[in-house]
Amino acid sequence: MRFQGRVALVTGGSRGIGKATALKLAGEGATVAIHYSRSTAKAEEVCEQIRDLGQHAIPVQADIADREAVNSMVTAVTEALGTIDLLVNNAGAVGDMVFDELTPEHWDRIIAVNLTGPFNVIWAVKPGMVAQQFGRIVNVSSIAALAVRPDQLPYAAAKAGVISLTKSCCGPLARHNIRINSVAPGAIATDMLNEVSPEMKEQLRSTTPLGRLGEPEEMADVIAFLLSEESSYMTGSTVIASGGRILIP
């Protein structure tokens, strides 16, 4: 198993891509900390599924935009499970808002969750990874980072920032045997997508060259690859997994 004996932290691990990734890592031997922001029940449900696979899992709560809360969360995970070897920065919020109605307050919150949040978690796990001279990090970005999205302005800007963060951390972390990559998903069938209208969901499906929405498990496969030694010569990279949707303006 590719992750036998490894400790993983998956932010936003109670649903969607995070949940699928946590189950994938546990299925391949990892002990997993499931981060959540609000739903204790959903996080515990994922932990139970992991325990059913014969692996250990714990739920941990934090607002990832709150640096002290993140530091406390990582300390709790380290004390309970050991030094974090694998980090998946998946937690995020979309928060679509029409360009002309965008407020500074909305900008601040979306940037805080989607860009400052991943930075906070990386900086919290980094000392442990440096000390053990091993770490694997995957940041979940979005194809919104690579396209024009005026009604997703803060989200798109933050996700572009995540790609830049990944690239900029690459060199300094590589000296300590820490690899960092990102994945840019397209339209994925998650709870978040259920918040859009059926018409919008159909538009997303019909304008994706593969003719369907992506599944969380497909993103989990890409993330697991980037965390594994199968991608041993990859760092600072962004893998686009969009069903070809990146080609659509």
**pLDDT, tens digit (0-9, with 9 covering 90-100), for 98-134:** 888 899 999 999 999 999 999 999 999 999 999 999 9
Q: What is the Cα–Cα distance from 157 to 144, expressed in whole angstroms? A: 8
Structure confidence at residue 140 (pLDDT): 98
The model's pTM is 0.96
Structure confidence at residue 107 (pLDDT): 94
**What are the respective helix, strand and coil percentages of the chain, to the nearest 5?**
55, 15, 30
Residue with the bigger pLDDT between 141 and 151: it is 141
215, exposed or middle or buried, with CB in 10 Å at 0-12, 13-18, 19+? Answer: middle
Cβ-contact 168, 118 below 8 angstroms: no
**Which is catalytic among the residues 6, 12, 155, 239?**
155
pLDDT over 90 percentage in the chain: 83
Mean pLDDT of 79-106: 92
Does residue 155 have an active-site annotation? yes
- Maximum Cα–Cα distance for the chain, whole Å? 51
Residue 33: name the closest of 80, 90, 91, 93 by CA: 80
Q: What is the Cα–Cα distance from 124 to 74, expressed in whole angstroms? A: 6
**pLDDT, tens digit (0-9, with 9 covering 90-100), for 182-203:** 999 999 998 877 766 788 788 8
Q: If you search the block for the tokens 């969607």, which residue do you land on? A: 16
A 10 A CB-CB count for 99 gives 10
Q: Which domains does the chain have, with CATH numbers?
A: 7-239 (3.40.50.720)
